[in-house]
């Protein structure tokens, strides 16, 4: 590509700072000429960045050759994701250049003008889609290109259509994900109008590979053995939780820890260890209030504060919550963005602080799909975990996280919001 001049211009709020003075006039036209090169959508983009994708910077790339002039906004992540964005931009510019050279007749009027803006969408905090909307005009009828990318912000990878959709689903090229929809774009025959089709994600279970969008860990087991989920509430405890983690690791078993935000703050290393060793972290509120006695706003605050603490310490967002004492009401269901996980076996380890009793009580009842309620703040529970895992293993059980047991990774997160679940 002939880069006669490439200028990067960061834009601050709505103000463009143009650094190449001889380009100013051309650009002013390109950016502000009423009909084709409208800049009206720019404030919208800035707004979406600061609202739910705070911190993603935008840049304007301006490229001028004898055959075309391009001005294209794009996001900057300051990570390897920028390579995917740059790749998409290069592809567009290459295509435009080929076209431009075919139509260029040596006169400035026959130059092609390209103006591109973008919008950001997010399926979750971790997965975002970029939609480039590119208008090309000049000597040819004005037309558009839509280019979309879906990126995993945590894994810093581009998510490919082949991996996002089940085989032979639809011939999709241009789409973005929002928390509740797949939005597909197709260009009308006139080459300019863009048709937008919104499909509810909840209708696409089995067709969209939600495990990819949910950043699910590789499944631990693909066997048909009965599965069980051990859950540990109220920790992390500086001593007992570590002991439990050691016992689980020895036996290659995983569990789900419903942690308290205030304890995450004091024991961040233990929570990081949980994630590192393959356990799931659930939200058990900040400081264990009875949520029935709180307002919806207070419930939401208990949960969001804890989620933020978990995210800060581990880099992972919890996907499940458990209300203290199992107490919830309609306002909790409405306030919780996460599914509400109860249990199916309660050995009352807080009351019966006898390891042997706890083990026998659970082993006698355990069936495929059970969720076991335990508390990692008692010495007796910590002592029970090793023998418990041994006995259940001997009976053929495999240990999985709650999200894996209940198949939550196969659904869009928005479809699980406020759902109460207690057994597979």
Nearer to Zn ion, 94 or 379 (CB): 379
Residue of 133, 233, 349, 370 marked catalytic: 233
Q: How many chain residues bind Zn ion (CB under 5 A)?
A: 3
- Distance, in Å, from the CA atom of 184 to the CA atom of 174, rounded to the nearest integer, reads 6
Active site residue 375: yes
Give the interface segment with Zn ion, choosing from 9-17, 323-331, 362-370, 393-401 (CB under 5 A).
Answer: 323-331
Site for Zn ion contains 234 (CB under 5 A): yes
Return the structure tokens found at 103: 């139509």
* Helix boundaries (H) for 129-280: 161-164, 210-213, 240-250, 261-266, 268-276
Smallest distance, Å, CB 237 to Zn ion? 12
Residues 138-197 that bind Zn ion (CB under 5 A): none
User: Beta partners for 195?
Assistant: 186
**Please, are residues 282 and 258 in contact by the beta-carbon 8 Å criterion?**
yes
Using Cβ positions, the residue closest to Zn ion within the complex turns out to be 233
Q: List the one residue from 126, 233, 267, 337 that touches Zn ion (CB under 5 A).
A: 233
Binding piece for Zn ion, criterion CB under 5 A, among 11-19, 146-154, 219-227, 322-330: 322-330
Q: Is 117 or 233 the residue whose CB approaches Zn ion more closely? A: 233
| Stretch of residues binding Zn ion (CB under 5 A), selected from 49-57, 204-212, 231-239, 404-412 | 231-239
Region class of 202: left (phi > 0), else alpha (psi between -120 and 50), else beta: alpha
Q: Output the six-digit token pair for 397.
A: 């059980």
User: Residues near 143 by Cβ (< 8 Å), separated by ≥ 6?
Assistant: 135, 136, 137, 190, 191, 192
> In this structure, what token pair is assigned to residue 5?
């001049």
Q: How far apart are alpha carbons 56 and 50 in whole angstroms?
A: 8
Q: Nearest approach, Cβ of 230 to Zn ion (angstroms)?
A: 15
324 near Zn ion, judged by CB under 5 A: yes
Tokens of 389: 């895992």
Q: Which stretch binds Zn ion (CB under 5 A): 52-60, 87-95, 319-327, 353-361?
A: 319-327
**Could you tell me which residues are beta bridge partners of residue 120?**
130
CB 283 → Zn ion: shortest distance, Å?
11
The pair of three-digit structure tokens given for residue 188, joined into one six-digit string: 């009308």
Q: Phi-psi bin for 155: left (phi > 0), alpha (psi -120 to 50), beta?
A: alpha
Q: In angstroms, give the least distance from the CB of 326 to Zn ion.
A: 8
Closer by beta carbon to Zn ion, 142 or else 353: 353
CB of 374 to Zn ion, least distance (A): 11
Active site residue 370: no
Smallest distance, Zn ion to C-beta of residue 47, A: 40
Does residue 126 interact with Zn ion by CB under 5 A? no
> Residue 196: how many CB atoms within 10 A of its CB?
11
> Given the complex with Zn ion, which of 234 and 376 has the nearer CB atom?
234
Tokens of 102: 């075919």
**Positions that interact with Zn ion (CB under 5 A):** 233-234, 324
Please give the positions annotated as active site: 233, 375
């Amino acid at each position: 590509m002939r880069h006669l001049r490439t200028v990067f211009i960061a834009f601050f709020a709505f103000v463009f700072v143009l650094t190449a003075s001889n380009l100013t006039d051309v650009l002013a036209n390109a950016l502000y000429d009423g009909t084709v090169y409208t800049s009206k959508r720019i404030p919208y983009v800035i707004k979406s960045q600061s609202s739910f994708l705070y911190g993603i910077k935008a840049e304007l790339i301006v490229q001028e050759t004898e055959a075309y002039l391009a001005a294209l906004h794009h996001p900057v992540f300051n990570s390897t994701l920028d390579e995917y964005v740059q790749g998409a931009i290069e592809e567009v510019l290459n295509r435009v250049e080929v076209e431009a050279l075919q139509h260029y007749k040596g006169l400035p009027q026959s130059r092609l003008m390209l103006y591109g803006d973008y919008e950001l969408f997010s399926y979750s905090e971790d997965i975002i889609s970029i939609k480039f909307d590119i208008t090309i005009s000049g000597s040819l009828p004005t037309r558009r290109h839509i280019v979309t990318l879906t990126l995993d912000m945590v894994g810093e990878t581009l998510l490919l259509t082949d991996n996002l959709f089940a085989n032979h689903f639809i011939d999709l090229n241009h789409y973005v994900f929002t928390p509740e929809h797949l939005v597909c774009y197709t260009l009308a025959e006139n080459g300019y109008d863009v048709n937008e089709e919104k499909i509810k994600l909840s209708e696409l279970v089995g067709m969209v590979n939600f495990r990819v969008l949910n950043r699910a860990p590789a499944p631990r087991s693909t066997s048909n053995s009965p599965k069980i989920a051990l859950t540990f509430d109220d920790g992390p405890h500086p001593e007992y939780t570590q002991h439990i983690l050691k016992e689980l690791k020895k036996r290659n078993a995983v569990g789900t820890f419903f942690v308290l935000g205030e304890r995450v703050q004091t024991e961040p290393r233990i929570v990081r260890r949980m994630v590192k060793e393959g356990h799931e972290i659930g939200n058990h509120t900040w400081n264990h209030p009875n949520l029935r006695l709180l307002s919806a706003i207070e419930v939401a605050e208990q949960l969001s504060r804890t989620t933020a603490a978990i995210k800060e310490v581990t880099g992972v967002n919890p996907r499940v919550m458990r209300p203290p004492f199992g107490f919830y009401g309609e306002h909790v269901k409405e306030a919780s963005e996460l599914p509400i996980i109860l249990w199916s076996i309660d050995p009352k380890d807080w009351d019966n602080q006898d390891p042997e009793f706890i083990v026998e009580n659970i082993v006698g009842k355990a069936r495929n799909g059970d969720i076991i309620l335990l508390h990692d703040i008692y010495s007796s529970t910590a002592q029970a975990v090793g023998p418990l895992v041994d006995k259940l293993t001997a009976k053929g059980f495999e240990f999985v996280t709650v999200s894996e047991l209940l198949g939550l990774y196969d659904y869009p997160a928005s479809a699980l919001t406020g759902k109460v679940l207690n057994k597979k």
